[in-house]
Amino acid sequence: MSNEPEVDYGPLAGLIGVWKGDKGLDVAPEPDGSENNPYHETITFTAIGDVTNAESQVLSVLHYRQIVQRKSDNDVFHDETGYWMWDPRTGTIMHSLVIPRAVCVLAGGKYDGAKNESGDVVLEVAANVDDSDWKIIQSSFMQENARTTSFRHRITVGNGKLSYSETTMLDIYGKVFEHTDDNELLLQ
Ligand code: HEM
């Protein structure tokens, strides 16, 4: 692993830093419907260098930590960590994440230089329990009672602003539930 300053983080470069945002909205499952949780959060992306796999694949890697607090009581109600990885040879972005519910995701997507009308970078990754490459791993309890079946994550980043939209599909309480999280953050 090398963290020489010349590592090229490609489309991930704009994520590096500490971000804070207080416009978060979480829609989460409840036995009798759903709950809406307005939140604020801090996401810290740290450049950790590049890594070589099988002496041929070179990935540029960021580590991140996301701490989410309910606005109503400041309780941390979501704590997530993982890596964002960029493979310039194939134009692939990979996002690994773990949450302390015994659920892990490896999501992936292609980056083809996509930018929005403001010139911001748009990153999109997805995973599905049935996908051959980008998968979800979860405990047997979660598989039986609160199964994550798919995950989509879209980040737009540029000019000191980051916004994201995340959809996690769940099989829970005998129904299919669309668990969503969105926020807008500023670079500190
Ligand atoms: C900002 C991001 C997120 C927030 C704020 C959040 C928040 C929540 C909340 C409040 C619940 C309901 C918990 C309860 O009723 O006790 C929940 C449930 C759940 N979340 Fe998230 N979540 C986020 C992202 C994710 C992600 C990325 C995944 C997985 C890929 C995930 C998987 C789950 C699962 C499996 C449940 C069902 C457990 C249950 O309700 O008992 N969540 N989440």
In this model, does residue 117 exceed pLDDT 90?
Answer: no
In this model, does residue 64 exceed pLDDT 90?
Answer: yes
Helices and strands counted in the chain (H then E): 1, 11
Look at the chain and count its residues: 188
Pocket test for ligand 1, best of 76, 78, 135 (most atoms within 8 A of CB): 78
Going by alpha carbons, the residue nearest to atom 7 of ligand 1 is 78
Q: Which DSSP string do the residues of 35-78 spell out, in sequence order?
A: EEEEEEEEEEEEEEEEEEETTTEEEEEEEEEEEEEETTT--EEE
Amino acid, res. 18: V
Q: Kindly give the distance from the C-alpha atom of residue 91 to the centroid of ligand 1, in angstroms, as a whole number.
A: 30
140 φ/ψ angles, rounded to the nearest 5 degrees:
-65, -35
Q: What average pLDDT does the chain have?
A: 96
The SS3 call for residue 116 is coil
At 8-59, the pLDDT tens digits run 999 999 999 999 999 999 999 999 999 999 999 999 999 999 999 999 999 9
Q: Which DSSP string do the residues of 6-27 spell out, in sequence order?
A: T---GGGGGG-EEEEEEEEEEE
Please say whether the beta carbons of 41 and 185 come within 8 A. Answer: yes
Q: What is the pLDDT of residue 114?
A: 82
Q: Is the dihedral of CA 122, 11, 63, 19 positive or negative?
A: negative
Using 50, 70 and 90 to split pLDDT, how confident is the model at 3? low
Q: What is the pLDDT of residue 115?
A: 84
Q: Kindly give the distance from the C-alpha atom of residue 101 to the centroid of ligand 1, in angstroms, as a whole number.
A: 8
Going by alpha carbons, the residue nearest to atom 2 of ligand 1 is 181
In this model, does residue 163 exceed pLDDT 90?
Answer: yes
Residue linked to tokens 């989509």: 152
Pocket test for ligand 1, best of 41, 141, 168, 180 (most atoms within 8 A of CB): 168
Residue linked to tokens 């999501």: 107
**Cα angle for residues 67, 163, 153 (degrees, 5° grid):** 80
Ligand 1 and 138: CB distance under 6 A: no
Nearest atom within ligand 1 for CA of residue 136? 30
Q: Kindly give the distance from the C-alpha atom of residue 89 to the centroid of ligand 1, in angstroms, as a whole number.
A: 34
Percent of the chain topping pLDDT 90: 93
Q: Kindly give the distance from the C-alpha atom of residue 79 to the centroid of ligand 1, in angstroms, as a whole number.
A: 10
* Strands 76-87 vs 33-53: parallel, antiparallel or unpaired: unpaired
Q: What is the pLDDT of residue 5?
A: 65
133 torsion bin: left (phi>0), alpha (psi -120 to 50), beta (else): alpha
